[in-house]
Chain A
């Protein structure tokens, strides 16, 4: 009974420009760890093989170090790995794969599927039908030839491809590299392992996207898993188990603050998140000066706890209450300035006015702190 691990879209070599350098480095590191996790998982679950359905690398010209590290990370699983070239790492005449081979970085147990055809893993009872991308984009269905491929009858027939299943996936997936929805059926595959879609997704009982093992963007599409597929024998239905592999949770919240309790709720949600979180927060609405103090404090705590916190407050207006202003002891023309800034928040230069108001408020608070104790 062959059992294999289905994964895809490692996107090695990707960097995270939106984060602070420190966070970015940690997230990059997490992707290398994900490979190690996969290897460990395959070993623990006694898988016969690991199939990687494309986009192992994020780009053709990644550094030599990245190439070596990727293959080094596979060492935790001694069985065969089949790596398919995807659209990011297409098997061009000169590619990341030819470089890896030149570097001598590819271990013997790693099979590179760089040409269309069948890789037979006799011992493992698997015949892997490969449809690698040999150009950056193709407009024809590369799995079409699967119907022609002959494989020994005693072997489980598994397809390995990278692209978008036609007519099923949401917009935003490239129209290029199309794959027929019924390919598993037409090519008499026991299982079709797909890559390209970063979330885990079942197309039909024999056709799955494994998704990326470590999320790398804010898209709530169930990323961060690997699939363990067990097939009793040729023609039998596959048993697919989704195993979570992600280290970091990527959270993206869009919240509008209106009343005091909104802020309370937000703080409550923040406190509930696990430490390995990458959070992207965008706030709108209004907040009092006292509320802003609380928000700042909560975010400060969150920044210390989580991997990364980014908060966009450009649409959150400061609405100081009478009490706020009284607390600031802004007499004389300072009061006039505060009033002017509050009004201006609504106008064209609202952002500057809001920032200016926040700065003024913080200065006055500092002043008061200096005076009061």
Chain B
């Protein structure tokens, strides 16, 4: 298809007719600045094709403010050597005329012809939308939409496919996709995407499992019921059999027999016990009789013993009596020795006391002497202290006051020196007669005075000169001096001295008196630490004590100088020894007395014992008793022998009867009876319980329930089988349909891919862009880079979009479909290198298609090898290109 001429009138800014003529079969570069009408021309072409001539939704075509306009587009193009001429007027004058070769069409017919040729649809209502644009929508790229190809391809889908179908000579199923959708929908009712059961299939599957479980449960209960019935039957039968046989009665008989045998054995055992007790008693009696006899024999031996004891006691008494006189003599001698020692001790003690008193007396006299000397000294030192204290009182002066005085004196002296330094010195050397009066003080001869105050110097006959010392210092000095002098004088007066030297002297005298006093006090303390009165008191005490001692000594008897008096210690030792001797003699005397008494008593007791035993043993009664015991022993022995024999005999009988085993038998038979009866009772109970239970279960109608449940289960099972069969069939069908459709698509993809490869290799030598099932540009790979077109940069997507469109155009051309490519300011986002490549691509494509390229950047496209058309210039020329 080649657009040859475009004429517009009353259309937006083209109020006057504008003609774009002489369009070339290949590239056409139409440029002009913004708002020069490029987009209007593009809009005019679109309107001519897409908009219904009678559409009311094309108000935008009218020139601004001109509601009475009839926008008109006049297009001439050639396709497959046939000339087409389309004139369309909108709004005020709605008209559509088409000439194809020699044929003419008008109105709707004309529009249908054009739509059929280009492959698009009209909007049923309102303005045309992208969804209707079909193939032109893909090949005519509006400003800024070059990168959005996906939807354009989708809208062009059917037209593209029909073009492709004619190429590959394959019949794409006319209703195939609808069938696939239906099958998929039917399948979705039963299966999920992943092939899991859903909807009714799942419900039925679940229901059937539940019912199966219910059947199993009911079956189990039925089986259990039947088991119980069988059990009841067998128990009832057993019960009846036992009721007839009554095995517990036989056991009862055996029990009775065993009990009788045991009673017999027990009787023997009792007898045995009794008899052995009797034997025991006899044995005890035998023992007692033997013991009694033995005792009688022992009494004779005792009598001899007693006789021996009686004689020994008599001898002991005699021996004791013989010791008596010796003991008495010893006691007497000891008493005399003790009295002598006692007398000596008393004398020694008196002597001792006297000599002690004499020693005290001499010690006290010595002390009296010493104290008298100390007292004299103390009185002397006391007088010294008093003298020193008196001296100190006389010379008392404050040490601090003296120091203060000295300080004041020093300050005064210093201040005087200072005042002399600053004072106005008035020196004079007068004529001998001459004299002056200075402040009423006459001056004469030579002299000097320092003036601290203004002074009037009166020179007689001459006048008065007033000397005023300058400076404030002088006045201050003077004031300070006076103050110091006053203080010095007052301090002297306070101390009561005439001068500093006197004060110093008085202070020295005071200090000396103080030292004297302290020394005297020190001495006094050394002789009378507690003071003189204490010393005097102590002396008085000693005098008293001495007097008392003298009286005591006088009172003591004079000692007998002839008599040798032993020392006290020795006398005491002697007395202690004599006392010990005396005590021992007394002890021995007491012991002798008691031994004598004891011997007498022992001798008397032994005599009595012997006498009693002797009388007893020799009595007739004792003789008779002995004889009787002998006879009894013999008899008891005989009885024992007899009993032992009888016991041994009976023991054999008892052992043969085995009462322990008999008791076990009885226990066994009793238990047997109990068990048999209990078992029978248990049977009765079980029968009763089973009947009750079975009645209850029977009332539930278990087997009927089971049958019903099983019927429901089988029903579900059948339904499940039907549904799953259907699901399987739908699955198979969908798989096959999808596979076949994909297979077809793959065959359709090939030619498109070929063209796409051609352009991609021009843009990126190593790259590949794959067409997907929807015939969309999909996977893009460049070296190791791999991704989807949609992931590329805006510029790259725009480039890919354009080459995809060119590929579609190639495809359409092969299918003899019209291909007009309109690009409105495209590739504005491409860099120079890419743009160069794209120019090569466009130039290449222009060999096969007519391309209208509108731009406001003519400088970018000047190397396209075609003469640019300047829209601005064309408009000035009335739009006619010659």
Interface residue ranges, A against B (CB under 8 Å): 13-18, 20-21, 24, 58-66, 92-96, 99, 102, 329-337, 340-341, 349, 351-356, 358-360, 363-364, 367
B701 contacts A by Cβ under 8 Å:
yes
- CB within 8 Å for A340 and B698 given contacts A17-B714, A333-B741: no
Q: CB-CB < 8 A to A58: which residues of B?
A: 703, 707
Q: CB-CB < 8 A to B170: which residues of A?
A: 332
Residue of A nearest to B234 (CB): A93
Residue of B nearest to A333 (CB): B740
- CB within 8 Å for A356 and B730 given contacts A14-B707, A61-B222, A334-B173: yes
B433 contacts A by Cβ under 8 Å:
no
- For B743, give its contact among A13, A333, A349 (CB under 8 Å): A333
- List the count of A-B residue pairs having beta carbons below 8 Å apart: 151
Is the Cβ of B701 less than 8 Å from the Cβ of A66? yes
Is the Cβ of A17 less than 8 Å from the Cβ of B715? yes
Q: CB-CB < 8 A to A333: which residues of B?
A: 172-173, 176, 737, 740-741, 743-744
Residue of A nearest to B714 (CB): A17
- For A61, give its contact among B225, B728, B744 (CB under 8 Å): B225
Is the Cβ of B225 less than 8 Å from the Cβ of A353? no
Is the Cβ of A359 less than 8 Å from the Cβ of B729? yes
Is the Cβ of A355 less than 8 Å from the Cβ of B704? no
Closest 10 CB pairs of A and B: A332-B173, A63-B701, A355-B729, A59-B703, A17-B711, A333-B740, A356-B733, A61-B702, A17-B714, A94-B694
Is the Cβ of B699 less than 8 Å from the Cβ of A64? yes
B155 to chain A, nearest CB (A): 22
B541 contacts A by Cβ under 8 Å:
no
Task: Show 29 A/B contacts (Cβ-Cβ < 8 Å), sorted by A.
Answer: A17-B710, A20-B715, A58-B703, A59-B703, A60-B225, A60-B229, A60-B698, A61-B225, A61-B704, A63-B700, A63-B701, A64-B701, A65-B701, A66-B701, A66-B704, A94-B228, A331-B174, A332-B173, A332-B176, A333-B740, A334-B740, A352-B728, A352-B731, A352-B732, A353-B732, A355-B726, A356-B729, A359-B730, A360-B179
A114 to chain B, nearest CB (A): 14
Residue of A nearest to B687 (CB): A93
Is the Cβ of B173 less than 8 Å from the Cβ of A331? yes
Is the Cβ of A363 less than 8 Å from the Cβ of B698? no
- In the complex, which residues 217-239 of chain B have their Cβ closer than 8 Å to any Cβ of chain A? 222, 225-226, 228-229, 232-233, 236
- CB within 8 Å for A99 and B695 given contacts A15-B704, A18-B714: yes
Give 1 or 0 for each of B178-201: 1 = CB within 8 Å of chain A CB: 110011001000000000000000
B201 to chain A, nearest CB (A): 14
Residue of A nearest to B178 (CB): A367
- In the complex, which residues 694-729 of chain B have their Cβ closer than 8 Å to any Cβ of chain A? 694-695, 697-705, 707-708, 710-715, 725-726, 728-729
Bound: A363/B171 CA distance, A: 20
Is the Cβ of B729 less than 8 Å from the Cβ of A332? no
Interface residue ranges, B against A (CB under 8 Å): 170-176, 178-179, 182-183, 186, 222, 225-226, 228-229, 232-233, 236, 690-691, 694-695, 697-705, 707-708, 710-715, 725-726, 728-733, 736-737, 740-741, 743-744
Q: CB-CB < 8 A to B691: which residues of A?
A: 94
Is the Cβ of B229 less than 8 Å from the Cβ of A94? yes
Q: CB-CB < 8 A to B171: which residues of A?
A: 331-332
Q: CB-CB < 8 A to B178: which residues of A?
A: 367
Bound: A188/B775 CA distance, A: 96
Bound: A65/B233 CA distance, A: 26
B169 to chain A, nearest CB (A): 12
Residue of B nearest to A351 (CB): B725
- For B186, give its contact among A15, A60, A334, A359 (CB under 8 Å): A359
Bound: A364/B728 CA distance, A: 19
Bound: A209/B573 CA distance, A: 159
Residue of A nearest to B721 (CB): A314
Is the Cβ of B698 less than 8 Å from the Cβ of A13? no
Q: CB-CB < 8 A to B222: which residues of A?
A: 61
Residue of B nearest to A354 (CB): B729
- Highest count of chain A CB atoms <10 Å: which of B228, B690, B740: B740
A226 to chain B, nearest CB (A): 25
B179 to chain A, nearest CB (A): 6
Is the Cβ of A93 less than 8 Å from the Cβ of B229? yes
Bound: A17/B709 CA distance, A: 9
B118 to chain A, nearest CB (A): 25
Is the Cβ of A341 less than 8 Å from the Cβ of B710? no
Bound: A330/B737 CA distance, A: 12
Q: CB-CB < 8 A to A363: which residues of B?
A: 179, 182-183
- CB within 8 Å for A61 and B701 given contacts A331-B174, A359-B186: yes
**Besides the contacts A65-B701, A352-B728, what 14 more A-B pairs have beta carbons closer than 8 Å?**
A13-B703, A13-B707, A61-B222, A64-B699, A92-B229, A92-B233, A332-B744, A333-B173, A334-B176, A351-B725, A353-B729, A356-B729, A363-B183, A367-B178
- CB within 8 Å for A356 and B711 given contacts A60-B698, A94-B229, A332-B173: no
Q: CB-CB < 8 A to A94: which residues of B?
A: 228-229, 232, 690-691, 694-695, 698
Bound: A14/B225 CA distance, A: 18
Bound: A244/B79 CA distance, A: 89
Bound: A355/B186 CA distance, A: 13
Is the Cβ of A13 less than 8 Å from the Cβ of B704? yes
Bound: A16/B226 CA distance, A: 23
Bound: A330/B233 CA distance, A: 72
Residue of A nearest to B742 (CB): A333
Q: CB-CB < 8 A to A17: which residues of B?
A: 707, 710-715
Bound: A353/B730 CA distance, A: 9
- For B729, give its contact among A18, A21, A99, A352 (CB under 8 Å): A352
Is the Cβ of B175 less than 8 Å from the Cβ of A62? no
Bound: A96/B174 CA distance, A: 69
Bound: A336/B729 CA distance, A: 17
Is the Cβ of B711 less than 8 Å from the Cβ of A60? no
Bound: A349/B183 CA distance, A: 19
Bound: A175/B591 CA distance, A: 135
Is the Cβ of A360 less than 8 Å from the Cβ of B733? yes
- For B740, give its contact among A18, A63, A331, A337 (CB under 8 Å): A337
Bound: A77/B66 CA distance, A: 107
Bound: A59/B728 CA distance, A: 40
- For B174, give its contact among A99, A332, A352 (CB under 8 Å): A332
- CB within 8 Å for A367 and B175 given contacts A102-B695, A355-B725: yes
Bound: A14/B711 CA distance, A: 10
- CB within 8 Å for A93 and B236 given contacts A20-B715, A333-B176, A364-B179: yes
Q: CB-CB < 8 A to A349: which residues of B?
A: 732
- CB within 8 Å for A61 and B732 given contacts A331-B173, A331-B174, A332-B172: no
Bound: A231/B69 CA distance, A: 118
Q: CB-CB < 8 A to A356: which residues of B?
A: 729-730, 732-733, 736
Bound: A243/B646 CA distance, A: 102
- For A93, give its contact among B233, B728, B729, B741 (CB under 8 Å): B233
Bound: A63/B178 CA distance, A: 55
B175 to chain A, nearest CB (A): 6
Is the Cβ of B707 less than 8 Å from the Cβ of A336? no
Is the Cβ of B711 less than 8 Å from the Cβ of A24? yes
Residue of B nearest to A64 (CB): B699
Is the Cβ of B698 less than 8 Å from the Cβ of A99? yes
Bound: A315/B171 CA distance, A: 34
A48 to chain B, nearest CB (A): 33
Q: CB-CB < 8 A to B182: which residues of A?
A: 363
